[in-house]
């Protein structure tokens, strides 16, 4: 299973234990997947920061020369206009390459129980999405794992009939 690395943070936010209560076996499987997402997103953030730090203007001592706010505090953001004109396209290309890299969760025998558990979790997921990114990713995630709308509706009907 693969999706864009930028979505790993959303994946673990959607499946966060504080939002999704699960039985122990499903919880263990979810945690294995979430830990892989966290590790990948941590590396993504490091890679992103490395690219930014390479292009941020530097002081004479080599430290970042961040713009300052009205109080003289550094504003640690990088605008394209802050980058010398000859390097702007290179920066954009590197950031685009990073954003378009894939997170891969191998569909091997070791991870098969995790992927099967994710299908169950997604079909039965009962949370309110906090933003459009979560809604979009949930739809993409279901498509990746072949979780149909019917699977989700069946889970809801089973819950209602169990009451």
Over the stretch 51-105, which tens digit does the pLDDT of each residue have? 998 988 888 888 888 788 888 888 877 788 888 889 999 999 999 999 999 999 9
Closest to 54 (Cα-Cα) out of 12, 98, 17, 15: 98
Give this prediction's pTM. 0.79
Q: Residue 104 in contact with residue 3, Cβ under 8 Å?
A: no
pLDDT at residue number 68: 83
Domain boundaries along the sequence of the chain: 2-162
Neighbouring residues of 151: CB distance < 8 A, sequence distance ≥ 6: 119, 123
Q: How far apart are CA 162 and CA 138, in angstroms?
A: 26
Q: Which position has the token pair 């693969």?
A: 2
* Structure confidence at residue 159 as a pLDDT band (50, 70, 90): very low
Answer for the pair 142, 122: CB distance below 8 angstroms, yes or no: yes
Tokens of 108: 């091997």
pLDDT of 150: 54
Does the structure show a pLDDT above 70 at 148?
Answer: no
């Amino acid at each position: 299973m693969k999706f864009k690395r930028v979505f790993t943070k959303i994946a673990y936010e959607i499946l966060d234990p504080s939002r999704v209560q699960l039985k122990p076996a499903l919880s263990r499987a979810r945690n294995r997947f979430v830990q892989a997402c966290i590790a990948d997103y941590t590396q993504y953030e490091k890679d992103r920061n490395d690219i930014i730090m390479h292009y941020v203007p530097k002081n004479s001592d080599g430290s970042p020369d961040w713009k300052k706010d009205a109080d003289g505090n550094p504003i640690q953001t990088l605008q394209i206009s802050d980058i010398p004109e000859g390097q702007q396209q290179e920066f954009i290309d590197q950031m685009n390459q990073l954003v378009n890299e894939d997170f891969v969760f191998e569909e091997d025998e070791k991870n098969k129980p995790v992927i099967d558990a994710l299908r169950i979790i997604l079909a039965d997921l009962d949370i309110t999405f906090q933003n459009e990114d979560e809604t979009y990713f949930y739809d993409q995630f279901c498509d990746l794992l072949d979780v149909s709308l019917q699977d989700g509706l069946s889970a809801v009907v089973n819950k209602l009939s169990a009451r």
